[in-house]
Structure 1
Amino acid sequence: MSSDTPGVIFDMDGVIVHSNPAHKKAIQDFCKIHNQDVSQSFLENRLYGRTNKEWIPELFGEISAERLTKLADQKEQMFRDMFVPENNIVEGIHKFLEMLRENNIPMAVATSAPGENADYILSRLSITDYFNAILDSSHVTTGKPDPEVYIKASKALGKDPESCIVFEDSVSGVEAGRQAGAAVIGVTTTHTEEELSPCSMMIENFKNLELNQIIDLATTK
């Protein structure tokens, strides 16, 4: 691997899989059980891209760490029970991962989701082995939009964030990638181009995405 080879870091929900509709349904069902009302604005601006330990207290107020863990586990189990990764793949991801591997591009996943979700989704899609590192919510003290997860993912790849490319679909995730110093490619599965702006590039999915397009981003941003 050349020292000037970029690292590529993927968010998971909304980037590798179209999972946000299932997350939204799970959250709505979860909130209904607990008599909590969640607006679309809350979902988009204060929940997507953030960790459970950050958004759950915003709904439930000051709660014990034990209760927070139980609530988070309940919500994520509801999500996994209804979500089938194989039926919700972001188009072109398998081919794109294979192209990166063939060109010795190091790859990581950096998700705000818990490790159980990452294991479930990546293993069901048989893509775990593509990644040199997989970081989940347990690996960070502060979730997105803080850049911590992308700084740590870059380090796990042996790269500076400035020589990495981040794929993100959430507003908080784009901000995290940019704050880390990476080039950010917005994936418009959850938000519009206008909502995700500014990014180095925008894509709907990974079809027709060429290697030279992303390498140029890492060297010219």
Structure 2
Amino acid sequence: MQPGTSRPYPFDAVLFDLDGVIIDTTALYYRVWETFARARGRVPTPAELLATNGRRGSETLQAWFGPGLAESDIAAHMHELDAMVRHQLATEPVSAVPGVHRFLEELRRAGVPWALGTSATAANAELALSRLGLSELFPVRVTAAEVTRGKPDPEVYLKAAAALGVAPSACVVIEDSVLGLRAGRAAGARCLALSTTFPRDVLSNEDPTWLAEDFRSLPFSVSP
């Protein structure tokens, strides 16, 4: 079936990123990265922190501390970073991206399937969703352990679409980052960019299908 056939919206499934799309954790991750870097004598710039969005942690480590960083060091650093993120997620106040609960309910009522495609670890994704009371609504997930290549490679979204049994071209990818939008586009999906993390002009340069502030101002409706 072609996306949008006999439907008021032009897609058959939705592929969600997590951080910055479902849960507002941008500042939380920035605090973790800055604390980690400062402890090692490095002060990341705002641009460097922004560039962490959508990127695998191991790639940020190599960008900040050198491409020659040993695999054992990367593994140890990632273990420490994941623990820091889990602690923050478990103890700090968190909030959903505005309108996401209502949008999920509209998708459910319309019978539109959805999946999660994130660079986060499975444990951190579960904790984030649980904090919002959304864990049971996301049984289909593709997290860091299920992919070998990070965004902007389309692997995460190709696997998420396959898990739903829907062609990527019939999906809409919802992203807040430049790398995520490039991954969605490379997968062949339409893309909805949310300006929750990056400035609108930066996201617009990535030529998303749609651009919105958050789920309260979507340019389409899935309600009957």
Normalising by the residue count of structure 2, what TM-score does the alignment of the two structures yield? 0.86
Provide structure 2 residue ranges, at least 5 long, that are not aligned to the other structure: 6-10
Residue identity (%): 34
The separation in 2 between residues aligned to 1:36 and 1:86, in whole angstroms, is 27
Paired position in structure 2 for 1:201: 210
Task: Tell me how large the CA RMSD over aligned residues is.
Answer: 2.3
**1:196 shift after superposition:** 0.7
The separation in 2 between residues aligned to 1:116 and 1:131, in whole angstroms, is 14
Aligned residue among 179, 186, 196 for 1:189: 196
Aligned residue among 76, 83, 93 for 2:100: 93
Q: Deviations over 1:102-151 (max 9, x none)?
A: 22111111111111210110122121222241111111111011111111
- Kept in 1, the 8 Å contact 2:94–2:131? The answer is no
**Partner-residue secondary structure (3-state), 2:82:** helix
Paired position in structure 1 for 2:8: none
The separation in 1 between residues aligned to 2:136 and 2:202, in whole angstroms, is 33
Aligned residue among 24, 34, 38 for 1:32: 38
The separation in 2 between residues aligned to 1:81 and 1:36, in whole angstroms, is 22
Q: Deviations over 1:36-81 (max 9, x none)?
A: 2322222223x21011122212223323333212211212222232
AA in 2 matched with 1:207: R
Paired position in structure 1 for 2:157: 150
- Kept in 2, the 8 Å contact 1:17–1:85? The answer is no
Moved more, 72-81 or 147-156: 72-81
The separation in 2 between residues aligned to 1:183 and 1:213, in whole angstroms, is 15
Tell me whether 1:55 sits opposite 2:64 in the alignment.
no
Distance 1:214 1:163, change over 3 A: farther
**Partner-residue secondary structure (3-state), 2:15:** strand
Moved more, 151-160 or 81-90: 81-90
Distance 1:206 1:86, change over 3 A: farther
Structure whose residues are more often helix by fraction = 1
* Superposed counterparts of 1:13-162, under 5 Å: 13-45=19-51, 47-61=52-66, 62-83=68-89, 87-162=94-169
Provide structure 1 residue ranges, at least 5 long, that are not aligned to the other structure: 216-221
Normalising by the residue count of structure 1, what TM-score does the alignment of the two structures yield? 0.87
Tell me whether 1:173 sits opposite 2:180 in the alignment.
yes
AA in 1 matched with 2:166: K
Distance 1:14 1:85, change over 3 A: farther
- Kept in 1, the 8 Å contact 2:176–2:197? The answer is yes
The separation in 1 between residues aligned to 2:108 and 2:146, in whole angstroms, is 25
**1:179 shift after superposition:** 1.0
Paired position in structure 2 for 1:218: none
How many residue pairs align between the two structures? 213
**1:86 shift after superposition:** 6.0
